[in-house]
Amino acid sequence: MRKILFASTALCAALAAVAAQAQEAQADRTGAGIGEIVVTAQRKEQNLQDVGVAIDAVGADSLAARGVVNVTDLTRAVPAIAINNAGGQVTSIFLRGVGNITNNAYFDAAISPNYDGVVLGRPSGAFATAFYDLARVEVLKGPQGILYGRNATGGAVNIIPNHPAIGDRSAGFSLSYGNYDAISAEGYLNLPVSETSALRVSGVRQRHDGYNRDGSADQDRYGVRAQYLIEPAEGLSVRIAGDYTRVQGVGAGDSYLGNISGNALIPAGFDGSEGLNTPAANAYRQTLLGAPGFGFLAPMNEQQSIGYRYWGVHAEAKLETGIGEFTLIPAYRKTKGASAFYGPGFNTAQFSEEYGQFSTELRLAGRTGMIEYVLGGFYFDEDIRGNNNFNQEFVLPLQDYRSGTRSWAAFGQLTAHVSDRFRLIGGLRYTEDEKRMDGVQTTFVALCGGSPPDTPPRSFAIGCAGFRPDGMPNLPHFPNFLQPGDAHAWLAASGYIPANIPYAAGTQVYPVISYDPATGDPNDRSIILKTEAPVNDTRSFSRVTWKAAAEFEAGPKNLLYASVETGYRAGGLQIGGGSATYEPEFITAYTLGSKNRFLDNRLQINLEAFYWKYRDQQITYFSYSAISGTVSNTNENVGRSTIKGFDVDIIAKPFAGTILSGKVQYLDTLYKGLTLRTLAPRDNYNCPRTVTNIMTPSGPVIEFDCSGRPLLQAPQWTVNLGVEQVVPLPGEVELAGSVNTSWRDSFWTNFNYLDFMRTPAYWTTSATLTLRASDGKWAVGAFVSNIEGDRHIVQASASPIGFATGSFTPPRTYGLRLSAGF
């Protein structure tokens, strides 16, 4: 299959019948050549073909043609990226296998999210919901250690909205309706306020029913954005912007794949649309014995939900001077909300979060003689407050914390124009990060026959799985609480622990009094173990990152470039993991590329080869907690890894109304030092194992050496193909049709490397058919995404309570769209 794909792709390239979907330049409808697209990825306006960096830029029309209506759909347009939501409101981003699986707000992403020039501390909020009235999306692949700095070791994603246009009075809207009762309404209004100023207001309302039978995987959100631009004097412009978004509904959802016995999956028999809270799913849930309480699990105790508000204000001031253009971007953003979610099989996780960030960036871009320069400084201050639980029925971890980051950087990038065709580029950035954490994880664990704490749990045959005369389980199935005192009070009021044992700080052992052990042995009496893992610390990190590059114009439309760039992601603090701290990660990336236009702008061929070397790479997975003797989501450094491969992007416009598109990416990824740790019975890792001498209340820590395994979300081959045809009709009307399809090779979705965590290769196809005015003033059309109708696993998990769960791609969606501009 791979040989066929490679041969067919090469043939398409030779025939100029494909075009790089990832660099989706908008074609000039009135001309014969491929149009240009302007990007600002290097902090200045440049033609995409003149930028000697690995970048995919996708315009608004191309996003719509591929059905990209939110950030998780972006992989349809940029095959190098994978974005998913495992529950709650935090989005996980992977680019060429670099990323992390998390829903904790205090873990930094490895891919820097940016909205309208503002660096976002968290990949959520405006980043996840800003897909309306867009100019384009830019995806920079590889470390951006100079102009973006911290937390851009894998790359950066820029979401850029349309800006106000002075002197332009216009408005437009787009309405669509589809299956799953999907409704989308977008609109904008651009008004001249004076001869030197303009206002642009845009909004969106999107909703659809859940793709899963329990109502999850739905969408319910609205947003509004306002921008005011004034140019009071020549060379001076100030743009002030504000936005507000509300996200609500049920939220992301998983489905049961089965339960895990050793490293084998015992299938549940559900398809990917079942969800975790249907009658059938809950009936299945109650067939599984949960550890360490050894009782049959209960149905979901709460309806999943999400409710968040995001808002922000920022400005962009530009001043032209004799030494160059100054750009100042101050910004403030705020997030507040709560969610309850099941993934991966929790009952139920609850988040109550509030965080805000202030940032400012000042840049100077100019040229003197042969030297072009970008100089700047950056400051970032973020504060996060969280109160979370991760209810696993017999294990109830509660987190209450306040964390924050204060960061500043100074950077500079110089370009020496050695000749009209040859340029040398060098850059340096110095970054200081200060991380702070003041919080505690309090964990309640129901242990069957495990008293005192250093005695391992015994057999559930003593009655742990039974019921009291009043119908209550012999061991408690914890309800949802956010405060430890409330959990303690419930245990006492429900008759599980003696009422005369008050709640106190630190480790406590409460004997379970609800039944007499069958053996009569008092040591068989079950216990509730309460532990605390506090973290109150501040850590500082700093790093100099650098870049060296060269560009050569081999012809008027031919650019060769080579670069070496380093990146850095700060270490940090966490609660509830195997360690309270983790260290920074570092990357060195080598890139060799070429960008070309041929045949009078009818053919574009861009090539890139890359080799990335990681050291101390940070990953997030379910690891052990030495204090509570349970497993929890933790961030750790895992040694070294390498990523290498190539991209081939081709755009062809053989006729005035025809655009053919294609992209091939090859990845070869390898962990050279991946050591994972966990506890029995959640030791389901398909890697060589060693039992260590590190002891916890639940037994010894087990270590797995997964070196030699590939990185997650990194298919070896990815192929994207597309065609767009415009047919002129009488009366200044035209018919436009497009078909886009992508093939993703098989890839791993989680660090356990169990068979069910490997997603098989698959095709996904979308199509549109639109009747529109030749001047673009109106359009009516139909669209369909995922024509094949198959749902594929994007992330599979081995739940701490014994289930295998998976989140899936959307099903087939289709509908009608009407748009107009005035």
Partners of 218 in beta bridges? none
Q: What is the pLDDT of residues 696-751, one digit of tens each?
A: 777 788 999 999 999 999 999 999 999 999 999 998 999 999 999 999 999 999 99
Q: Is the pLDDT of residue 639 over 80?
A: yes
Mean per-residue pLDDT for 438-442? 94
Q: Is the pLDDT of residue 205 over 70?
A: yes
Task: Identify the residue with better confidence: 511 or 384.
Answer: 384
Q: Is the pLDDT of residue 68 over 80?
A: no
Q: Is the pLDDT of residue 3 over 50?
A: no
Q: What is the pLDDT of residues 25-66, one digit of tens each?
A: 333 444 568 888 888 878 778 888 888 888 888 888 777 777
Mean confidence (pLDDT) of the chain = 88
Share of the chain above pLDDT 70, in %: 92
d(CA 292, CA 449): 10
Beta strand extents in 495-639 (DSSP E only): 508-511, 527-555, 558-569, 572-573, 581-582, 585-598, 603-615, 618-624, 631-637
What per-residue string of b and e applies to 505-542 under the rule 16 or more CB within 10 Å gives b?
eeebbbebebbebeeeeeebbbbbbbbbbbbeeebebe
Name residues whose C-beta falls within 8 Å of residue 235's C-beta, 6 or more positions apart in sequence: 319, 320, 321
Partners of 592 in beta bridges? 562, 609
Beta strand extents in 49-91 (DSSP E only): 55-59, 81-84
Lowest mean pLDDT among 195-199, 556-560, 652-656, 681-685: 681-685
CA dihedral 802, 806, 807, 811 (to 10 degrees): -140
**What's the pLDDT at 39?**
83
Residue type, 284: Y
Mean per-residue pLDDT for 644-658? 94
Q: Is the pLDDT of residue 454 over 70?
A: no
Q: Is the pLDDT of residue 183 over 90?
A: yes
**What's the pLDDT at 33?**
82
Highest mean pLDDT among 87-101, 122-136, 154-168, 627-641: 154-168
**What's the pLDDT at 32?**
64
Lowest mean pLDDT among 66-70, 378-382, 407-411, 560-564: 66-70
Q: Residue 694 CB: number of other CB atoms within 10 A?
A: 14
**Domains of the chain from N-terminus onward:** 23-160 (2.170.130.10)
Q: Is the pLDDT of residue 457 over 80?
A: no
Mean per-residue pLDDT for 566-585? 89
Distance of CA 800 to the CA centre of its chain: 22
Q: Which two tokens stand for residue 524?
A: 């068989």
784: confidence class by pLDDT, cuts 50, 70, 90: very high
Lowest mean pLDDT among 86-95, 231-240, 490-499, 520-529: 520-529
**What's the pLDDT at 820?**
96
HEC string of 213-231?
CCCCCCEEEEEEEEEEEEE
Q: Which of 717, 714, 730, 732 is nearest to 774 (CA)?
A: 732
Q: Which of 193, 148, 291, 309 is nearest to 244 (CA)?
A: 309
Lowest mean pLDDT among 15-19, 340-344, 794-798: 15-19
Q: What is the pLDDT of residues 785-794, one digit of tens each?
A: 999 999 999 9
Strands 155-161 and 111-115: parallel
- C-beta separation of 412 from 518 below 8 A: no
Mean per-residue pLDDT for 466-491? 90
Lowest mean pLDDT among 69-83, 329-343, 416-430: 69-83
**What's the pLDDT at 46?**
82
d(CA 684, CA 663): 37
126: confidence class by pLDDT, cuts 50, 70, 90: low
Q: Which two tokens stand for residue 547?
A: 């870049």
**What's the pLDDT at 9?**
37
86: confidence class by pLDDT, cuts 50, 70, 90: low
